[in-house]
Every structure is written in C-alpha cells, then in structure tokens.
Chain A
C-alpha cells in the first residue's frame, strides 16, 4: 500500500498495537485494519475456536439514540424493539421502503435508552438515514469509543478475571462493568459462533484494555481474515455481500427477524411486500453450500444445476479452517434450495460438484446458562 493511500484511511485507537504485533494492515471500510498477524489466518481461526481471540472492531459504528422509543425505532426495523427488555440485545435490520436491507445491526436497551452497533462501511449512511427519520439530535455516533471483541470458549474465563460479574450474563445481554480501573460496556455477543463478548471502552483506554486482555495466556490477537472465516462457518451474513438493498429478509433466510407481533401489526418499511413474501416466497433464497472437492468457490461464482443451468450465485465463500474444506453461501432458485440438493459451483470456468448445506456449517456455542 502506498503512503498517499494509507494517509486517507482512518485508524482505530489500536492502530499502534496492531503494527507492534506485526499485523498485515489492509484498507477496509475506509479504515486501515489488521487482516492477519504473523500467526496467520488459519491458526488465528483455530485458536479462537479453541481458546480466545481478541478482535479490534472499533471501525464499527456505535450509535446512541436519545429520546427514541422502541415504537419509533420500529418504524425503521422489523424487530420487536418496543418489547425489548432492559439490558437485552437483539439482531435486527434497517429496511428501505421496498423491504431491501440497508444494514444489519444489534440494538440494545440500556439505562432506558436504545443503542445500536452498525457496520463500518454503512455507518455514515445509517446515521444519515436515522437522523432523517428520528431527528438530528436523536442520533449520536459515538466517535470517542473503541470496540473490542473477545471471542471463544475461554473468553468468559478470561474476562471474568477482570470483571467477575460477566460470568452469568445471558447471551445477548449487556452490562456496565468496572474492570482494571476502566468503565466498560460489555455485551455477550459476537460474530464467530462462539461464546464471547463485545466490549465498548473509551478510545483513550482501548489500547490499555487490549494489552491487558492479550496478556492473558489464552488470548491471541485475531485479524479480519479469521473474523471472516469464523462468521462464514457460523452461517452469519456479511453486509454488502450476503445481504444488501437488493435482498429482502425473507430471501436472505432472516425472516425470523420479523417479530411475531410485527407480522400481525405491520408498520415497518416494506411491510406489504415482506408479509406477502412470508406466504409466497421470493424466487431465490440464501443457502449454505459445501463443494465436494477442495477448490474454494469465491464471491461471484456462478451456481449451476447438474445439467449446467444457471440457478444462482455465491455471495461469500472460502476455506473453512475448522472443517479443512471449502464452504460458501449464496442465493439459489428456491426449487434447488433444500439441504443435500446436488449442484455445481463454477470456478475458473469448470463446474465443480457441490451440495446445498444446512447452516451453521460449524455448530454455534453461544452461552445458554
């Protein structure tokens, strides 16, 4: 990367830490981010599944909503936000008027107010969208906060050394905790399929917290490369690839985000179309794919039926370190979407046999108490 280009990229509060640990830095969503450390993507991935990995996700947008009721946010998303209890978190979608997905996000109610965590590449657009509908003063992008994710089966044991109270936090809940002299906002959540936490900390203390966590023997720093392979194994969508404005929650296999009460009441963007899709499904849907051979099928690969007819396209794909095999997800014509259905993915002009697979590809291990 040349210096003129890197000068335009934003840096997170952990930038110096990444460089000191030998990270390979790449441009991502306008930020200079670590794609991997000298450990390498496969070892980082397997370490996270076995022990605990620390991810810098400070590029994501942390948004505070001021004076916004659950009912008000419900005009923009299909989730049950009015019914979201204090200190509980929910995955939901910002939808456009046609039911297309503007972004996927986490919403949490804390201290009586709603907070959101949105994707890095979409955060400026999300904020503009939210301000246009909820009022400028109601939407605050918290630029002075960093976000760390500690993920893996030993994440809770590690974090409990700093903050014992986190041990019994339910999955998708949040708590304010004091740890190592810092005030942290912790949620039990993540993007790996493992138990884990996302930790919001002031930008000025973020490096100190990261070093404190990295000093624990179970913890290694993990880059965006392994973050992507971990989320793909967990069957989780990557915005801008697996979901976007051209996909609806129903086509994306995210109909579960349309809450039962919202189905009865409507009142979310694209409700007419989406409620119709629930009974009259759209022609294509998102599925998991397991190639039979070793060749990864990347984003953009055509999916064909055994006779060679085009039936869909890969939206995310690569190598799954936990399975030592390639995996992918993509959209295919609904008649071909049942698990086990034979198909082929076209890689370098060769149709390679594959099958529709259930997701997640690797069992999730969220904390269930």
Chain B
C-alpha cells in the first residue's frame, strides 16, 4: 500500500519504494480554477523540499508548485503539459506532475496524512 501524504501548500506525494509521485490536491485545483499551463522540471534535475518544482498557471495567475520532498526527477507527466485541464479533471490520478527518486525514503513521515490534511483544509474555510 503506497503512502500518501500532503503539504500545507496543497501538494500531495505518494511513495512507492524509493520513488514518489507528486501532484497538487483537489482543493488546490479548485482554488486555482481552470488550469491553462503547466511548466515541469527536466528529468535528471533535482528538486528540494519546500522549493519550487513546477509552475501551474490558471486563467488568472501563475502559482508555484513546491516539492514536498527532495530528490532527483525521474519522470514528468507530459500529458498535463499537453492538456493542462487534466489537472482539474483528475488531480490525484492522471493529473500527476512528476516522479522523484527520494533522497530519504522516510521523508514523507514529516508530512500530513489524509485525515490531518482534510482537517487542515477544513480550517481554510
């Protein structure tokens, strides 16, 4: 069973062994509205926890997507680069952003689980 964790910046990260898939949450896509452009890092580059990993642009504005964990980018989702609306339609599935090889396989332990994130979102009003 892969571990699914969330950040206060509304990214999700799903660990499977020593790699993790990263995306933005349903709450994030709702807040952004129609997503019209996604800029993804190059495979082989590094992302650092808490630093910008990707950019997502809605009809109104550009926003950063922060890496929930540190590691080397091993894959990016070309599907959302070609059809950004996929992020709105299926943020936790087809709308994933990138996959990283984790520096620290225990890095997800510091992040919120699904129940904690649901409570955090509820507080956002």
Q: Contact residues of A with B, CB < 8 Å?
A: 24, 35-36, 40-43, 225, 229, 294-296, 298, 318-319, 321, 326, 348
With known contacts A36-B33, A295-B37, A296-B36, A348–B57 Cβ distance under 8 A: no
Partner-contacting stretch, out of B10-18, B43-51, B58-66, B68-76: B58-66
Which of A24, A296, A321 is within 8 Å of B37, CB to CB? A296
Verify A298–B37 contact, CB threshold 8 A. Answer: no
Q: How many interface residues does chain B have, given as a range? A: 10 to 19
Known: A41-B60, A294-B81; 16 extra A-B contacts, CB below 8 A, are A24-B33, A35-B60, A36-B33, A41-B33, A42-B36, A225-B59, A294-B36, A295-B37, A296-B37, A296-B62, A298-B61, A298-B62, A319-B36, A319-B57, A321-B59, A348-B55
Chain B 73-96, CB within 8 Å of chain A: the 1/0 string? 000000001001000000000000
With a cutoff of 8 Å between Cβ atoms, the chain B residues found around residue A43 in the complex are 34
What 3 A-B pairs have minimum CB-CB distances, sorted nearest first? A319-B36, A41-B59, A42-B34
Verify B39–A295 contact, CB threshold 8 A. Answer: yes
Q: How far is the CA of A229 from the CA of B58 in the complex (A)?
A: 12
- Nearest residue in A to B61 (C-beta to C-beta)? A298
Verify B57–A295 contact, CB threshold 8 A. Answer: yes
Q: How far is the CA of A294 from the CA of B81 in the complex (A)?
A: 9
Verify A41–B34 contact, CB threshold 8 A. Answer: yes
Verify B61–A40 contact, CB threshold 8 A. Answer: no
Verify B39–A348 contact, CB threshold 8 A. Answer: yes
Verify B33–A326 contact, CB threshold 8 A. Answer: no
Verify A294–B37 contact, CB threshold 8 A. Answer: yes
With a cutoff of 8 Å between Cβ atoms, the chain A residues found around residue B84 in the complex are 294
Q: How far is the CA of A40 from the CA of B81 in the complex (A)?
A: 20
Q: Contact residues of B with A, CB < 8 Å?
A: 33-34, 36-37, 39, 55, 57-62, 81, 84
16 contacts between A and B (CB under 8 A): A24-B33, A40-B59, A41-B33, A41-B58, A41-B60, A42-B34, A225-B33, A294-B37, A294-B81, A295-B57, A296-B62, A298-B62, A318-B59, A326-B37, A348-B55, A348-B62
Q: How far is the CA of A22 from the CA of B86 in the complex (A)?
A: 23
With a cutoff of 8 Å between Cβ atoms, the chain B residues found around residue A40 in the complex are 33-34, 59
Verify B39–A319 contact, CB threshold 8 A. Answer: no
Q: How far is the CA of A43 from the CA of B34 in the complex (A)?
A: 9
With both chains docked as a complex, state the minimum distance between the C-beta of B123 and any C-beta of chain A, in angstroms: 14
With a cutoff of 8 Å between Cβ atoms, the chain A residues found around residue B59 in the complex are 40-42, 225, 229, 318-319, 321
With both chains docked as a complex, state the minimum distance between the C-beta of A351 and any C-beta of chain B, in angstroms: 14
Q: How far is the CA of A319 from the CA of B59 in the complex (A)?
A: 6
Q: How far is the CA of A294 from the CA of B82 in the complex (A)?
A: 9
